[in-house]
A and B are shown apart, each in its own frame.
Chain A
Amino acid sequence: MSDQDSIHHPVEHEVEDDRPHLLPIYTNMFDRVFISVVIMVAIHLFWLRFLEVYLSLYVATIISLVVGYIIIRRG
């Protein structure tokens, strides 16, 4: 491959990542933070509608923070 070709067609490295992933798609950090916020809001709304009679909303906050952390670290 000439220098000219290497400029226009950069070599693609296939990185093997053995860590188990939660999400079925490739994501970057912004995607994972976005997904965490979306899930956080969804969990809170669901909790307000169906579960707040039995358990405090703080439980939803803790659950969504844990879920968000896991998604950001291991998405």
Chain B
Amino acid sequence: MRRTRTGWLLLAPSMIILFVVGIVPFIYVLYVGFFDWNLFSASREMTFNGVNNYRQLVFDPLFLDAIWVTIRFTFFAVVSQLIIGFFLAQLLLRDFPGKSFFRTIHTVPLMIAPIAIGAIWRLLTIPGFGPIPYLLDRWFDFEFNIGNNATQAFLAIVIMDIWHWTPFVTLTMLAGLSALPAEPREAAQVDGANSWQIFRFITLPQMQPVVLTVLFIRIMDGLRTVDEINMLTNGGGPGTSTRTIGIHIFRVVFPQTDYGYGSAMSLLTLYLTIVACWFLFVSLTAVRKR
């Protein structure tokens, strides 16, 4: 009994912090989501409007388009990061000249703030000034302009995210691969398994917890990316081709001060993130009934 009380006492500070910074804001956003609250409206007071914000939300083409952009962005970025990160981790397991230097250089993007990443890529890709459009035009006679081409702008934000976050995936995968026991792989080699079979039936199942963790962290990050895309494409342009949910919520909540509608959108985004991660988790780990 006394040990239990001590345990709760030791847990209390972190639970109080979690409650204050996690649960209370969530409940407040849930509450505000049912109100009409806009500082620019005739009445600046909070007015209860039931599910009107959600009713407006499911018909809002800009919001639905932002969801679609975010899902596409997250899918392409995360899948690429996982594949590239895994192969780089395999590469870094072996010894080669300059390995330490490559590992350090490769990790540099992780240390840069997302807003600075956006600024760097903006300088790299800005039409008429950046080296990427200049070199593409000079070498391949290819016009690269993220200011007026939606596909190229989308490609640019995906590549920027891959460049920024692949080192995180690589380092995590490298830690996971380094910790794997060698015996199952050696036994498979003795039994005559080829590289693909060893990867598919030995390495991948053993790496499942690491892959799942990285996958969830990256999906959650991808779904809430705002600053670097906002910086690179100047708020989701051209048009709304790179306007993710985060940017859309930012534009509704801050310049338009529509707090009620912004809260409803934030909650729906949280809902989509939780459901996506849960489906992925269940499909990869759940025990099926016979």
| A interface residues with partner B (beta carbon < 8 Å) | 21, 23-26, 34, 38, 41, 44-45, 48-49, 52, 57
Stretch touching chain A among B162-170, B219-227, B238-246, B281-289: B281-289
B55 contacts A48, CB within 8 Å? yes
C-alpha spacing A34/B275, complex, angstroms: 10
C-alpha spacing A8/B278, complex, angstroms: 32
Give A62 Cβ to nearest chain B Cβ, in Å. 15
Count, A-B residue pairs, CB within 8 A = 32
A-chain residues with CB within 8 Å of residue B55 when the two chains form the complex:
48, 52
B278 contacts A38, CB within 8 Å? yes
A-chain residues with CB within 8 Å of residue B289 when the two chains form the complex:
21, 23-26
A41 contacts B282, CB within 8 Å? no
0/1 string, B253-288, CB within 8 A of A gives 1: 000000000000000100100110010001000111
Smallest CB-CB separation from B52: which chain A residue?
A: A48
A38 contacts B282, CB within 8 Å? no
A24 contacts B59, CB within 8 Å? no
C-alpha spacing A49/B67, complex, angstroms: 16
Q: State whether the Cβ of B113 lies closer than 8 Å to any Cβ in chain A.
A: no
Smallest CB-CB separation from B56: which chain A residue?
A: A48
| B interface residues with partner A (beta carbon < 8 Å) | 51, 54-55, 58-59, 268, 271, 274-275, 278, 282, 286-289
Would you mind naming 18 contact pairs between A and B with Cβ atoms under 8 Å apart?
A: A21-B289, A23-B289, A24-B288, A24-B289, A25-B282, A25-B287, A25-B288, A25-B289, A26-B289, A34-B278, A38-B271, A44-B51, A44-B54, A45-B58, A45-B268, A48-B54, A48-B55, A52-B55
A-chain residues with CB within 8 Å of residue B54 when the two chains form the complex:
44-45, 48
A-chain residues with CB within 8 Å of residue B286 when the two chains form the complex:
25-26
C-alpha spacing A52/B55, complex, angstroms: 10
A48 contacts B58, CB within 8 Å? yes
Smallest CB-CB separation from B59: which chain A residue?
A: A49
Contact of A26 among B58, B59, B275, B287 (CB under 8 A): B287
C-alpha spacing A33/B55, complex, angstroms: 25
Given pairs A25-B289, A34-B278, 18 additional interface contacts (CB within 8 A): A21-B289, A23-B289, A24-B288, A24-B289, A25-B286, A25-B288, A38-B274, A38-B275, A41-B271, A44-B54, A45-B54, A45-B58, A45-B268, A48-B51, A48-B58, A49-B59, A52-B55, A57-B51
Give B174 Cβ to nearest chain A Cβ, in Å. 32
A-chain residues with CB within 8 Å of residue B58 when the two chains form the complex:
45, 48-49
Give A36 Cβ to nearest chain B Cβ, in Å. 13
C-alpha spacing A23/B59, complex, angstroms: 31
C-alpha spacing A44/B33, complex, angstroms: 15
B-chain residues with CB within 8 Å of residue A38 when the two chains form the complex:
271, 274-275, 278
Give A44 Cβ to nearest chain B Cβ, in Å. 8
C-alpha spacing A25/B288, complex, angstroms: 4
B-chain residues with CB within 8 Å of residue A57 when the two chains form the complex:
51
C-alpha spacing A11/B55, complex, angstroms: 53
C-alpha spacing A71/B194, complex, angstroms: 45
Give B241 Cβ to nearest chain A Cβ, in Å. 24
Smallest CB-CB separation from B54: which chain A residue?
A: A48
B-chain residues with CB within 8 Å of residue A49 when the two chains form the complex:
58-59
Smallest CB-CB separation from B285: which chain A residue?
A: A25
